[in-house]
Homo-oligomer: A and B are copies of this chain.
Amino acid sequence: MANINDNYLKLAGSYLFRETARRRAAFIEAHPEADVISLGIGDVTLPLPQACIQAMHKAVDEMASADTFRGYGPEQGYSFLVDKIIENNYKGLGIESDEVFVSDGAKSDCGNIQEIFSTDNTIAITDPVYPVYLDTNVMAGRTGTLQPDGRYQGVTYLACNAENNFCPELPEKPVDLIYLCCPNNPTGTTLTREQLKKWVDYALEHDSIILFDAAYNAYITEEDVPRTIFEIPEAKNCAIEFRSFSKTAGFTGTRCGYIVLPKTVTGKAADGSRQALNPLWNRRHTTKFNGTAYIIQRGAEAIFTPEGKTQVKEMIGYYMENARIIREGLTAAGVTAFGGINAPYIWLKTPDSMPSWDFFDKLLNDVHIVGTPGAGFGPCGEGYFRLTSFGNREKTIEAVDRIKNSLKF
């Protein structure tokens, strides 16, 4: 008799963006004349860099001729891409080519990585958090059931809020796997090199592994924010880094990312031996994945050409100027806002601690702007609200003007 994986039944409904879309649609139906601006979903809007477009056209043409056709490639990614990644993003950090695994994106990698760990490991996540870290652990059976307070039994939640300046405190009870996202989605805040080093030291002391999501690292502007966790040398013994081209170069619909897993990172086997995680991940990656499309990898490679770099810089600059406009506009309107300096997200404190969903409705009803309620990202997101800077400039300015001029608190 086929039994299902019962852990799936523990999952809370993934209703956040469905619910925001539903409320938006209902509002538009009732007010067809309203010009609704969305600063809600974290998806890019600018086209791909020209360098990527050209590279993909060339790659498509290669697939049209038997001489240049590519069939199965290495599951870990073509060396033309892996080498560029190391040269451009990990120069001088001693990362080797068999420590980089190209994939179809950070969501897959963040979701799949837990498979190489024992199901009895404990996990720590920040709160609020990108839901994939938690949900994939629920599915794997590393948690108990969902409690009335919105938290899963057995999970360590690391509160991140204005009180601790969005820098999570080290856990009281030891944890095995620690998910950190920096720059952070949804709060748009970052850890400094010094703050991150504390986590690396903690992981080494407790034999924990840090799962470091750096999907937004291209948005970092401040000097003391690490571009990669491997800037902290000891991290090569305890960290796995996740990177993505989605937000770096507009690849949300083009799908490419990668993991960096140094061969020096180990875990403990049941027989007490130390086992390097790199060969375990290599086995997982080559058994359950067949490589990212050749055409897409050529597109990703083009990001590292001189033209590609210039075009990516312009794209990031555009979104970050939006972020500045939102952040400064909110501040001018008397709203307390975080993020938006090293990340494309602005995390605002709702006026008078208004519940997130009430603020969602107020923003939609009063000034026709759609954002994302902080409570959707975890209990500690209650009383906060996320706006994204991925929109069009004019609309972003218009949205901020509406908040400044018409939103009555």
B-binding residues in A (CB < 8 A): 1-6, 8-9, 11, 14, 41, 43-48, 50, 52-53, 56-57, 60-61, 63-66, 69-73, 104-105, 107-108, 111-112, 115-121, 132, 135-136, 139, 174, 176-177, 206-209, 250, 252-255, 267-270, 275, 277, 280, 283-284, 286-296, 392
Contacts and interface: CB of A to CB of B under 8 A. Distances in A.
Contacts of A254: 63, 293-295
18 contacts: A1-B207, A4-B118, A5-B117, A6-B269, A44-B71, A47-B65, A57-B60, A71-B250, A104-B290, A107-B288, A107-B289, A107-B290, A111-B288, A139-B283, A253-B293, A293-B296, A295-B296, A296-B296
B3 A118 contact: yes
A330 B294 CA distance: 36
B290 A108 contact: yes
A4 B45 contact: no
B45 A63 contact: no
A202 to B, nearest CB: 13
Contact of A3 (B50, B52, B70, B270): B270
Contact of A253 (B71, B104, B132): B71
B288 A255 contact: no
Task: State the oligomeric state as a number of copies.
Answer: 2
Given A53-B60, A63-B53, A269 B72 contact: no
Most B CB contacts (10 A, CB to CB) among A43, A46, A71, A296 go to: A71
Given A11-B283, A254-B293, A296-B295, A3 B63 contact: no
A238 to B, nearest CB: 9
A9 B269 contact: yes
Contacts of A250: 69, 71
Contacts of A292: 104, 255
Nearest to A43: B71
Nearest to A41: B72
Nearest to A270: B6
